[in-house]
Amino acid sequence: HVAADSETLEVIKVLVDGGADLNARNEDGLTPLHVATQERNPEVVKMLLDAGADPKARDSEGRIPVELMPSDCPLRGTDVYWRLNDARF
């Protein structure tokens, strides 16, 4: 989760390649994909999605990652956004 909050793609790649649980949850039920989306990290979001993170995973309040995206997020309208948004349907 800390890695998803950073912009260090190498750290995330090492974790993914090492078999880290991409859908592990923190104390708020957030997965790394929730955190990366909330923190506006398009490269991290793409890397997590490409590695198999679940865009339909719900946090402890029932929200999927795209629902945590800030309204001014630069991800909106990108391919990554649409991949996340597809989880709604």
Domain boundaries defined on the chain: 3-88
pLDDT over threshold 70, residue 1: no
pLDDT over threshold 80, residue 87: no
Q: How confident is the model at residue 75 (pLDDT cuts 50, 70, 90)?
A: confident
State the pLDDT at residue 49.
94
pTM: 0.83
Compute the distance between CA of residue 76 and CA of residue 86 in angstroms, rounded to an integer.
Answer: 13
- Reported CATH class of domain 3-88: mainly alpha
Q: How confident is the model at residue 21 (pLDDT cuts 50, 70, 90)?
A: very high
Query: How many other CB atoms are found less than 10 A from the CB of residue 15?
Result: 18
pLDDT mean over 28-32: 94
CB 88 within 8 A of CB 66: yes
Tokens of 68: 């945590």
Compute the distance between CA of residue 12 and CA of residue 23 in angstroms, rounded to an integer.
Answer: 13
**Neighbour-count burial of 84, counting CB atoms closer than 10 A to its CB (0-12 exposed, 13-18 middle, 19+ buried):** buried
